[in-house]
Amino acid sequence: MIDFLIPPAYAQAAAQQPNALMQFLPLILLVVLFYFMLIRPQMKRTREHKDMLGKLAKGDEVISSGGIAGRVTDIGEVFITLEVAPNTGIKLQKSAISTVLPKGSLKAQ
Protein backbone atom coordinates (compact mmCIF):
# COMPACT_ATOMS: atom_id res chain seq x y z
CA MET A 1 0.00 0.00 0.00
CA ILE A 2 2.77 2.46 0.78
CA ASP A 3 4.99 1.18 -2.07
CA PHE A 4 3.66 3.73 -4.53
CA LEU A 5 4.77 6.69 -2.29
CA ILE A 6 8.41 5.61 -1.85
CA PRO A 7 10.23 4.80 -5.07
CA PRO A 8 12.70 1.94 -5.01
CA ALA A 9 16.36 2.91 -4.48
CA TYR A 10 18.68 1.77 -7.23
CA ALA A 11 22.48 1.89 -7.10
CA GLN A 12 23.91 4.86 -8.95
CA ALA A 13 26.64 4.56 -11.55
CA ALA A 14 30.19 5.08 -10.23
CA ALA A 15 31.48 8.63 -10.53
CA GLN A 16 33.88 9.11 -13.41
CA GLN A 17 37.48 9.82 -12.34
CA PRO A 18 38.83 13.17 -13.64
CA ASN A 19 41.81 13.14 -15.97
CA ALA A 20 45.13 13.15 -14.04
CA LEU A 21 46.55 15.88 -16.31
CA MET A 22 43.60 18.14 -15.54
CA GLN A 23 44.17 17.67 -11.81
CA PHE A 24 47.82 18.80 -12.05
CA LEU A 25 47.27 21.53 -14.66
CA PRO A 26 46.83 24.37 -12.08
CA LEU A 27 50.05 23.31 -10.32
CA ILE A 28 51.94 23.15 -13.61
CA LEU A 29 50.65 26.59 -14.61
CA LEU A 30 51.71 27.99 -11.23
CA VAL A 31 55.25 26.64 -11.63
CA VAL A 32 55.50 28.13 -15.14
CA LEU A 33 54.19 31.48 -13.86
CA PHE A 34 56.73 31.52 -11.01
CA TYR A 35 59.54 30.76 -13.46
CA PHE A 36 58.70 33.63 -15.81
CA MET A 37 57.72 36.16 -13.13
CA LEU A 38 60.34 35.49 -10.42
CA ILE A 39 63.13 33.06 -11.24
CA ARG A 40 64.08 34.16 -14.76
CA PRO A 41 64.30 37.93 -14.02
CA GLN A 42 66.39 37.25 -10.90
CA MET A 43 68.79 35.07 -12.88
CA LYS A 44 69.10 37.86 -15.48
CA ARG A 45 69.90 40.48 -12.79
CA THR A 46 72.49 38.17 -11.23
CA ARG A 47 74.14 37.56 -14.61
CA GLU A 48 74.24 41.32 -15.38
CA HIS A 49 75.79 42.08 -11.96
CA LYS A 50 78.42 39.36 -12.44
CA ASP A 51 79.28 40.76 -15.90
CA MET A 52 79.55 44.29 -14.45
CA LEU A 53 81.96 43.08 -11.76
CA GLY A 54 84.03 41.24 -14.35
CA LYS A 55 84.45 44.44 -16.39
CA LEU A 56 85.63 46.59 -13.44
CA ALA A 57 88.90 48.38 -14.14
CA LYS A 58 91.19 50.77 -12.32
CA GLY A 59 89.87 54.30 -12.53
CA ASP A 60 86.18 53.30 -12.69
CA GLU A 61 83.90 55.32 -10.46
CA VAL A 62 81.51 53.13 -8.48
CA ILE A 63 78.90 53.19 -5.74
CA SER A 64 78.75 50.39 -3.18
CA SER A 65 75.57 48.83 -1.85
CA GLY A 66 76.17 50.83 1.36
CA GLY A 67 76.20 54.12 -0.58
CA ILE A 68 79.96 54.73 -0.55
CA ALA A 69 81.14 56.40 -3.75
CA GLY A 70 84.73 56.23 -4.90
CA ARG A 71 87.25 55.50 -7.61
CA VAL A 72 88.72 52.00 -8.01
CA THR A 73 92.48 52.04 -7.36
CA ASP A 74 93.23 48.33 -6.99
CA ILE A 75 91.39 45.16 -8.01
CA GLY A 76 92.00 41.80 -6.38
CA GLU A 77 90.31 38.45 -6.74
CA VAL A 78 87.71 39.12 -4.03
CA PHE A 79 88.42 42.65 -2.78
CA ILE A 80 88.82 46.04 -4.43
CA THR A 81 90.29 49.26 -3.06
CA LEU A 82 88.29 52.46 -3.43
CA GLU A 83 89.71 55.93 -3.12
CA VAL A 84 86.95 57.85 -1.34
CA ALA A 85 88.99 61.03 -0.75
CA PRO A 86 92.49 62.13 -1.78
CA ASN A 87 94.98 59.63 -0.32
CA THR A 88 92.19 57.78 1.53
CA GLY A 89 91.31 54.28 0.43
CA ILE A 90 89.05 51.56 1.74
CA LYS A 91 88.78 47.89 0.87
CA LEU A 92 85.44 46.43 -0.14
CA GLN A 93 84.30 43.09 -1.43
CA LYS A 94 83.66 43.11 -5.15
CA SER A 95 80.12 41.87 -4.58
CA ALA A 96 79.37 45.05 -2.59
CA ILE A 97 79.62 47.18 -5.74
CA SER A 98 76.14 48.01 -6.97
CA THR A 99 76.66 50.60 -9.73
CA VAL A 100 79.40 51.76 -12.07
CA LEU A 101 79.10 55.50 -12.68
CA PRO A 102 79.98 57.33 -15.89
CA LYS A 103 83.48 58.83 -15.95
CA GLY A 104 83.71 62.20 -14.23
CA SER A 105 80.61 61.75 -12.07
CA LEU A 106 82.49 62.16 -8.81
CA LYS A 107 84.28 65.31 -9.95
CA ALA A 108 80.92 66.99 -10.66
CA GLN A 109 79.83 66.55 -7.05
**pLDDT for the residue 10:** 76
**pLDDT for the residue 3:** 64
**pLDDT for the residue 11:** 67
**pLDDT for the residue 99:** 94
CB 62 within 8 A of CB 82: yes
CB 70 within 8 A of CB 106: yes
CB 98 within 8 A of CB 67: no
What pairs with residue 83 in β-bridges? Answer: 71, 89
This prediction's pTM: 0.70
**pLDDT for the residue 107:** 79
What pairs with residue 49 in β-bridges? Answer: none
**pLDDT for the residue 66:** 93
Q: What is the mean pLDDT of each run of 10 residues along the chain (109 residues)?
A: 69 73 90 95 96 94 95 95 94 95 81
**pLDDT for the residue 109:** 56
Angle at 108 between CA 103 and CA 109, to 5 degrees: 120
**pLDDT for the residue 40:** 95
Which helix H or strand E contains 108, and what residues bound it?
Answer: helix 105-108
